[in-house]
Amino acid sequence: MADLASKPLLDWVENSRAGVSSPCTALTRLLPPGITGIARQLHRQLDGYRMSPLKSLSGLAQLIGVGGVWVKDESQRLSLDSFKVLGGSFAIYQFLRKRLGIRDRELTVTELKSEKTRAQLGDLCFATATDGNHGRGVAWAAKQLGFRCVIYVHERTSRARIKAIEAFGAQVKVVAGTYDDAVRMVMRDAATNGWQIISDTSWPGYEDIPCWVMQGYTTMMTEIQEQLAGQGIARPTHVFVQAGVGALAAAVAGYYRGLFGDSRPVMTVVEPDRAACLYESARQGTGQARSVGGDLDTIMAGLACGDPSPIAWEILDHCADFFLSCPDFVAAKGMRVYAVPVSGDPFIVSGESGAVTLAAMMYIVEHESLQDLKRRMKLGPDSQILLINTEGNTDPGHFRRVVWEGSDPVPQEYRFPLV
């Protein structure tokens, strides 16, 4: 505990490069006008589609002194426990449309499943690297359309996550090392075997598909805006979004920048301190994406990425206001707060990567050591805060260890006094 006591509760950096006065030339290229409607049109055709709920934590908001806390609960997305399927399915759709040479219209899911279309497309195999949720989304989409799928995972991926991918008929290959090692391995093997990679991270010469993944995520954002409007709220004032390679964070930040311009919400990107590549990129302040090394050993498995996606960074560099680096106990606290809510608030099942933004936001609002950050963010009684629970209980064993057994407890130095 002594070592923790000498560290800040959270490391943070304010991004001086963000703001409407700082043009984001990548925004129109990566998230062009009208693309959200096209993505939503596709997703509405998927078997079992419905909007995931937007839940109000009004009791918690009153307790911590903010106007509202809203949680988009992606643990209820298509029975897949994660938002990731939105990106993977749209990327596969766009790839198939391009392969068929169709430019003047959109395709229906029924057309894609037809024998005629399958004969035109031939025998395809989709592949990707994953920490779990993205691979499961790609496997689900590939199975829906009748294509083969190979998913690469790193050696720390839990058996529960692997079994969830295999349940959709995908072949899973375990790679020694980290998520980034799995990405490099699938790149080599896909080139050898003629597979088509559906990745949420980009690299030189590979940008279209990661771009389509980000575009697919905007379906979630259009749902949120409809749901907030139903509550009489035009937009959130603050958004906290978690990040691995940065694709989701870029989709959220870019969506709100494009929709509201200089009236957009204050955007905060949250990462594990053992895999904080976007935080490090912002801290350097050069506008260049930076990788981080090490074993990336964090309970936030879905965020354990050392190499940021370059196209995601193009957006975040100009559209994200703050970057946070959080220890694992912050995510664990968030899981427990969701699981044992303030009286009257809904119970939410959230995995490690899904919950980190909740506890990070709470610490900023409440903890004395972070009051300067709270002021800079302009968090207060009129704030309407949006969080995204990106995953449910995707690793039951670890979920029980955190929620039932109290693993990764809050260190004594950072606990609030009993009242």
**Whole-number Å distance between alpha carbons of 126 and 171:** 11
User: Does residue 131 carry a catalytic annotation?
Assistant: yes
In the predicted structure, residue 265 carries a pLDDT above the cut 70: yes
Continuous segment of H or E residues that includes residue 239: strand 238-242
**Whole-number Å distance between alpha carbons of 89 and 212:** 9
In the predicted structure, residue 2 carries a pLDDT above the cut 90: no
pLDDT at 23: 79
Nearest C-alpha neighbor of 292 from the set 274, 267, 266:
274
Q: Taking the mean position of all CA atoms in its chain, how far away is CA 62?
A: 27
Instruction: Please pick, among 81, 131, 307, 321, the residue that the annotation labels catalytic.
Output: 131
Topology alike, domains 2-83+209-414 and 104-207: yes
Mean pLDDT estimate for the chain: 95
pLDDT in tens, 50-102: 999 999 999 999 999 999 999 999 999 998 999 999 999 999 999 999 999 99
In the predicted structure, residue 192 carries a pLDDT above the cut 90: yes
pLDDT at 292: 97
C-beta of residue 243 within 8 angstroms of C-beta of residue 278: yes
In the predicted structure, residue 314 carries a pLDDT above the cut 60: yes
Continuous segment of H or E residues that includes residue 35: helix 35-43
Picking from 2-6, 253-257, 263-267, 379-383, which range would have the lowest pLDDT averaged per residue? 2-6
pLDDT at 3: 47
pLDDT at 213: 98
pLDDT in tens, 105-118: 999 999 999 999 99
Q: Which residues contact 312 (CB under 8 A, 6 or more apart)?
A: 201, 202, 210, 214, 245, 246, 247, 249, 250
**3-class SS at 378?**
coil
Picking from 17-21, 60-64, 202-206, 280-284, which range would have the lowest pLDDT averaged per residue? 17-21
**Whole-number Å distance between alpha carbons of 64 and 362:** 7
In the predicted structure, residue 4 carries a pLDDT above the cut 50: no
User: Environment class of residue 122 by beta-carbon count within 10 Å: exposed (0-12), middle (13-18) or buried (19+)?
Assistant: exposed
Instruction: Please pick, among 55, 72, 81, 84, the residue that the annotation labels catalytic.
Output: 84
**Whole-number Å distance between alpha carbons of 113 and 40:** 19
Nearest C-alpha neighbor of 290 from the set 303, 272, 308:
308
Q: pLDDT over 90 for what percent of the chain?
A: 93
User: Environment class of residue 288 by beta-carbon count within 10 Å: exposed (0-12), middle (13-18) or buried (19+)?
Assistant: exposed
Report, as an integer, the average pLDDT of 175-195.
96
Picking from 24-28, 59-63, 68-72, 347-351, which range would have the lowest pLDDT averaged per residue? 24-28
In the predicted structure, residue 5 carries a pLDDT above the cut 80: no
Query: Looking at this protein, which amino acid is placed at residue 27?
Result: L
pLDDT at 22: 67
* Tokens at 165, concatenated: 């991918």
Supply φ then ψ for residue 130, to 5 degrees.
-155, 160
Q: Taking the mean position of all CA atoms in its chain, how far away is CA 189?
A: 26
Token pair 């629970």: residue:
389
pLDDT at 6: 55
* Tokens at 125, concatenated: 């195999």
User: Does residue 295 carry a catalytic annotation?
Assistant: no
The hierarchical CATH code for the domain 2-83+209-414 is 3.40.50.1100
**Whole-number Å distance between alpha carbons of 380 and 293:** 37
Domain positions in the chain: 2-83+209-414, 104-207
Q: pLDDT over 70 for what percent of the chain?
A: 97
pLDDT at 374: 98
Kindly report the CATH class assigned to 104-207: alpha beta
pLDDT at 1: 36
> Regarding predicted confidence, which is higher, 222 or 22?
222
pLDDT in tens, 353-374: 999 999 999 999 999 999 999 9
Supply φ then ψ for residue 244, to 5 degrees.
-110, -90
